[in-house]
A and B are shown apart, each in its own frame.
Chain A
Amino acid sequence: AQSVTQLDSQVPVFEEAPVELRCNYSSSVSVYLFWYVQYPNQGLQLLLKYLSGSTLVESINGFEAEFNKSQTSFHLRKPSVHISDTAEYFCAVSPSGTYKYIFGTGTRLKVLA
């Protein structure tokens, strides 16, 4: 079975400071990795994903995540956050060859002025 762990339920950070949201997973098969973002009272939307190839993936709004196979991690980073980044962030995995996605419990990022 697969599982996803997001150890930080809330992360407060000041505007323009860097941030890292942690995600670790457990799986006996290869997986695809995703980060989704949920703004208040909205559905989730894809931020970035890792399928194969370069272990560093980037989003259009400055976030990046690095796949580390040995540590089974896929941490999300941004060098300088904005107020508008305040949202809940979900890490998810999908075992290769399946239709299922397993989500973490989410990390609420609050950017302070």
Chain B
Amino acid sequence: NAGVTQTPKFQVLKTGQSMTLQCAQDMNHNSMYWYRQDPGMGLRLIYYSASEGTTDKGEVPNGYNVSRLNKREFSLRLESAAPSQTSVYFCASSDGLGSDTQYFGPGTRLTVL
């Protein structure tokens, strides 16, 4: 039982390049989330998927797109990376509504030059 897995662990991009961050969970959770963590700013929600087939914007969605591929997988895409997107990205999952515990992946450290 791996929980929430994220790939890659580290990535360096040049401005304008694109990439997709992958996230998968094996807990049969309905909801999945993407956050970014920046020093002094805590975690900010980028996008979330309340259930398979649905996605919604969070607090900071600009510059990102997401795909809920199936119940297990939720990917985050940067179409044209910018230095402001340098951050640590966390994927999380939960069983459903906000009363449920969120389970986090180990994170992806992204640097955009």
User: A-side interface residues toward B, CB under 8 Å?
Assistant: 4, 6, 9, 32, 34, 36, 41-46, 49, 51, 90, 94-106
Contacts and interface: CB of A to CB of B under 8 A. Distances in A.
A101 B102 contact: yes
A100 B58 contact: yes
Given A100-B45, A100-B58, A103-B42, A43 B97 contact: no
Contacts of B96: 99
Interface stretch (B69-77, B78-86, B104-112): B104-112
Interface string B46-81: 001010000010100000000000000000000000
Contacts of B33: 101
Given A42-B106, A43-B90, A97 B43 contact: no
Nearest to A43: B104
A45 B48 contact: no
Contacts, number: 67
Given A43-B107, A44-B90, A9 B101 contact: no
A97 B43 CA distance: 21
A43 B89 CA distance: 10
Contact of B48 (A49, A100, A104): A100
Contacts of B101: 34, 46, 49
A99 B50 contact: yes
Nearest to B35: A103
22 contacts: A4-B42, A9-B40, A36-B102, A42-B107, A43-B90, A43-B92, A43-B105, A44-B92, A44-B102, A45-B104, A49-B101, A51-B99, A94-B97, A96-B98, A96-B99, A99-B48, A99-B56, A99-B96, A101-B102, A103-B42, A103-B44, A105-B41
Given A43-B90, A44-B90, A99-B50, A32 B99 contact: yes
Contacts of B21: none
B106 to A, nearest CB: 5
Given A44-B90, A46-B101, A49-B101, A101 B45 contact: yes
